[in-house]
Amino acid sequence: MDAVRMHAASPESTAIVDAVLDYSRRRMLAADVPLDKPQSEAELHRLVGPTITDAGLGAARALSVFEHVLAPACLTTSHPLYLSFIPTAPTMAAIAFDLVVSASGLYGGSWLEGAGAVHAENEVLSWLASEFGLPDTAGGVFVQGGTIGNLSALVAAREAAKARLIAAGKDLPTRWKILCSVEAHSSNKSAARVMDADVLLVPAGEDGVLRAEGVREALLAHGDEICAVVATGGSTNFGIVDDISGIAALKDEFDFWLHIDGAYGLTAMLAPEARHLFEGVERADSVIVDPHKWLFAPFDCCALIYRDPDSGRRAHTQHAEYLDILTDVDEFSPSDYSIQLTRRPRGLPMWFSVATYGVTAYREAVSAGLALTRRIADEISRRPELRLVRDPQLSIVVFEREGWERADYDRWSSALLDSQRAFVVPSSHAGRPNTRFAILNPLTTFEDLVGILDTMK
């Protein structure tokens, strides 16, 4: 077979592109997307049969297998009643533009190769930085997700701490410590493991909030060994915001790197009514927020922003003879700011979406999620058989059904998914089973949520 067949323009290529675009178009514009559900590996094996063959199945057959068997075995995480973990809810413009990013051979790692794309991504990062109150000079890069964003920021923090101690003529600690709340996201603890650093877990209050006193005590006790203090701007389980303003104020007393893990919740700063919860973010040395969570971008996308981008660059620039042409210049190359070299310009779908709809539409969509959460929390409090585990601060509401054991939640959750009504999984807090709604999709309605509560009577 001709070696160029798979790449060249031809009637066969046209048919493949048409079939894939047609599928994408139907899926994007469907009024009612299915929730779908997983299948066992044995069942998929039985239904699909072997797909990797010497001769190839042909596009029609491969696409058909995907559309009729594989895709229905994947949950639609952007479904309005996918309410577990943290859902995703990309805008139409963002989803459509994701295809453009793949279609165009764009490389987002360096200015030399991707100047236009990088410029657009940087526009979005600058806008976010200004929403967070960071200086005009703040900047960074879109990385794959919050886990990589946190790790990249914490590595930059450690390099900065090292430089500070060396400049002061002090010894470096044998082990670095990263301070965070017991309620902080697992990715911070995972970052510490990757960095071979220790995690200094500070207890949060009953309400889940990490407060300045605990951080202050730890800074007094461990001082120079602490390379970063992580405050959470919206915990993943509860959507609780740490006392960022109190923790940030400790900078008047101690010299430390403040990282804000806002993967899920920092988005709420776009809503004027929630901004006050995040006072102090403007003093952060680094922040992350995941547009693939509450900023309406498709997977996978985390915005990592440094107050001083040079601190990211010093930690992350990779050097090699073949890369000197990129790193010996002053141009802004995104790969210099995180743990990754090759990158798609994954911020472009969000850029296109914000450029299309404007910032006001984003504020309104975020406010709507906050208001709906408040409303359903009130409804939960009114129901005698239900109990809020904590009062929601953002868009996650965690609640218990009186008298239910874990097995009751399991049965109820499975029935909701089997009937394709909703995806709401059991969770737990302090050893007690519960369930939660994470609400951020503008297509989720109060009536939908009330309908789910009715199934718990």
- Contacts with ligand PLP by CB under 6 A lie at 86, 145-147, 150, 185, 187, 232, 236, 261, 263-264, 290, 302
Nearer to ligand PLP (CB atom), residue 111 or residue 294 = 294
Point out the residue whose Cβ comes nearest to ligand PLP: 146
Nearer to ligand PLP (CB atom), residue 147 or residue 333 = 147
Determine if residue 208 is left, alpha or beta; phi over 0 gives left, psi from -120 to 50 gives alpha, anything else beta.
Answer: left
The answer to whether the beta carbons of residues 120 and 348 sit under 8 Å apart is yes
Rounded to a whole number of angstroms, the minimum distance from the CB of residue 348 to ligand PLP is 18
Rounded to a whole number of angstroms, the minimum distance from the CB of residue 144 to ligand PLP is 7
Q: Is the peptide bond before 18 cis (omega within 30 degrees of 0)?
A: no
DSSP state of 70: I
Nearer to ligand PLP (CB atom), residue 146 or residue 208 = 146
Q: Is 112 helix (H, G, I), strand (E, B) or coil?
A: helix
Widest pairwise Cα distance in the chain: 71
Name the amino acid, one letter, at 85: F
Nearer to ligand PLP (CB atom), residue 131 or residue 242 = 242
Report d(CA 345, CA 143) in Å as an integer.
Answer: 9
Half-sphere CA count of 267, side-chain side, radius 13 A? 31
CA torsion 266-267-273-276 (nearest 10°) is: 20
Rounded to a whole number of angstroms, the minimum distance from the CB of residue 49 to ligand PLP is 33
The answer to whether the beta carbons of residues 339 and 155 sit under 8 Å apart is yes
Report d(CA 33, CA 285) in Å as an integer.
Answer: 41
Buried b (16+ CB within 10 A) or exposed e, 357-373: beeeebeebbbbbbebb
Of the candidates 156, 128, 445, 160, which has an alpha carbon nearest to the alpha carbon of residue 295? 128
The answer to whether the beta carbons of residues 437 and 360 sit under 8 Å apart is no
Report d(CA 400, CA 428) in Å as an integer.
Answer: 9
Nearer to ligand PLP (CB atom), residue 173 or residue 312 = 312
Report d(CA 216, CA 212) in Å as an integer.
Answer: 6
Rounded to a whole number of angstroms, the minimum distance from the CB of residue 338 to ligand PLP is 13
Nearer to ligand PLP (CB atom), residue 149 or residue 214 = 149
Nearer to ligand PLP (CB atom), residue 176 or residue 294 = 294
Q: For the chain, what is the radius of gyration of the CA atoms?
A: 24
Rounded to a whole number of angstroms, the minimum distance from the CB of residue 289 to ligand PLP is 9
Of the candidates 357, 258, 273, 267, which has an alpha carbon nearest to the alpha carbon of residue 303? 267
Instruction: Find where tokens 């927020």 sit.
Output: 289
Beta-strand pair 177-181/226-232: parallel
Rounded to a whole number of angstroms, the minimum distance from the CB of residue 152 to ligand PLP is 11
Nearer to ligand PLP (CB atom), residue 232 or residue 335 = 232
Nearer to ligand PLP (CB atom), residue 440 or residue 449 = 440
Rounded to a whole number of angstroms, the minimum distance from the CB of residue 190 to ligand PLP is 9
Q: DSSP states of 139-161 as a string? A: EEEEES-HHHHHHHHHHHHHHHH
Rounded to a whole number of angstroms, the minimum distance from the CB of residue 181 to ligand PLP is 11
Nearer to ligand PLP (CB atom), residue 219 or residue 396 = 396
Rounded to a whole number of angstroms, the minimum distance from the CB of residue 396 to ligand PLP is 10
Rounded to a whole number of angstroms, the minimum distance from the CB of residue 299 to ligand PLP is 9
